[in-house]
Amino acid sequence: MPITATTRVHGPSPAVAQLIDAVERRTGIRLSATDEASGEIELLIDHGSSAPEGYTLEIGERAIIVGADEAGLFYGVQTLLQLLRQDDSGWALLGADVADSPRFPRRGVMLDVARHFFGVGDVKRFIDSTSALKFNHLHLHLSDDQGWRVHIDAWPLLTERASATSVGGDPGGFYTKADYREIVAYAASRHMIVIPEIDLPGHTHAIGVAYPELVEAPVLNDNLIADSARLGQPLPVAGETYLGWGVGHSSVRIHEERTYDFVRDVVHELAEMTPGAYIHIGGDESLGTPQADFDLFAERATAIVVEAGKIPMAWHEMGSATNIAEGTVGQYWGKTTPEGTHAEEAAHFVERGGALIMSAADVTYLDMKYAEDFPLGLTWAGTIDVRSAYEWEPTAVLDVPDTAILGVEAPLWSETTRTLGEVEQLVFPRAAAQAEVAWSPREAPERGWESFRVRVGALAPLWKAEGIDFHPADEIPWSAR
């Protein structure tokens, strides 16, 4: 179907406007909106026509997208844009007859803005590029040892004293409440739900820079000392900004009631700004926290989230605590072959009436290098080429019912990424692999590596038009147009 300046689009205004803008960015052609149902591209919503977020797409003499809801229509538009091609005769849409809906309800990406800070504009670009792959959740890692990134009225020194720097002494920053609400609203316009994370009780050195009375003295374990020496990074010092990226040395004071006043204030202020159902409270790598103390904190912190009207989320280590709040959702970041007690910890969330998000580090972590010589990223979970990111099965990792798996999340930790362009090099094309793992049934006809590598290669012109700084991995036959 040819696309020219006379092509008209009819349908709900947000979807029409997004389609027109995207086509213009890709082709330079400005389509026109029409109030008449005779437009060459027709966008419709038919509630209940398929599963939630689903759509049908037919491209022949006309292009017709029918979404089961507004999200489904949005995702149908993204597929239509992927079928836009240029040849010697001009621009056209490839013929198609698609009926599509997601396998998992939770399809997420995580952006760590604590190790390196990314401003509102960068986060919006990240939302644009990842929602186009049909991701529907954005997990923002808002606090860590290196910095605190969102303003809290009740504890103003967090952003006043603990937000100015990033790893290596790079510039920091934070979101005002207006900034945070702007991100949440922008994500919602792309059918993406924001999940804020405040990492507790470990990864809390920055809290101690602002409020020393809340945090224990750093625990300098042997691995931290060795890694800091190898990387030429400083060790953490109580009350001073931490510029390294070692882990496991910090903890809030678990037996101080003021600590829970702090957690309650932070959670309630975040809950007030966050329309989504979840608040993530971390729980990972609390290496210096005795198990009994960790258990006590996990019980109280998850209860505070429930008290605020939200569903608690936590990294899988929090499953080691017996009395986490019922319904708490765990995020598994162990490997595809579980090590140690990781599988048992993850399963405990299910036993307590919760569910799991799969973020197996050796296949989903977007901050791992593609290969040993790649200039960005780390290798502690291994190297992850695009095929490895694609060829894994979320329900095959843990011994829990398939129904306990809510979906997949691909995290991007920012120790080595100082700019959004560097983030994009690590994220793309591997995020496309995770998007398909989360969206498409494993038995779907085209759900295989050889098909995927060709289809993702065809996205190169679209990504270039959108200004995405993707990595042109050798595994992929990249299309020129």
* Residue 373 C-beta-side C-alpha neighbours within 13 Å: 1
Whether 117 and 168 have beta carbons less than 8 Å apart is answered as no
3-state helix, strand, coil split of the chain in percent (to 5) is 35, 20, 45
DSSP string for residues in 99-137: EE--S-SEEEEEEE-SSS---HHHHHHHHHHHHTTT--E
Nearest to 246 by CA among 229, 263, 268: 229
Task: Round to whole Å and give the CA distance between 349 and 328.
Answer: 6
Nearest to 99 by CA among 456, 444, 457: 444
Nearest to 56 by CA among 84, 77, 36: 77
Continuous segment of H or E residues that includes residue 422 = helix 420-427
221-230: Cβ within 8 A, 24+ apart: 221/248, 221/249, 221/287, 221/288, 223/248, 224/248, 224/249
> What pairs with residue 165 in β-bridges?
171
Please name the amino acid found at residue 20: I
Beta-carbon neighbour count of residue 380 at 10 Å?
Answer: 10
Nearest to 409 by CA among 126, 184, 106: 106
Nearest to 209 by CA among 253, 148, 140, 282: 148
Q: Which residues have CB under 8 Å from 63's CB, separation 6+?
A: 1, 40, 41, 42, 57, 80, 93
What end-to-end distance do the CA atoms of the chain give, in Å?
17
Catalytic positions: 285
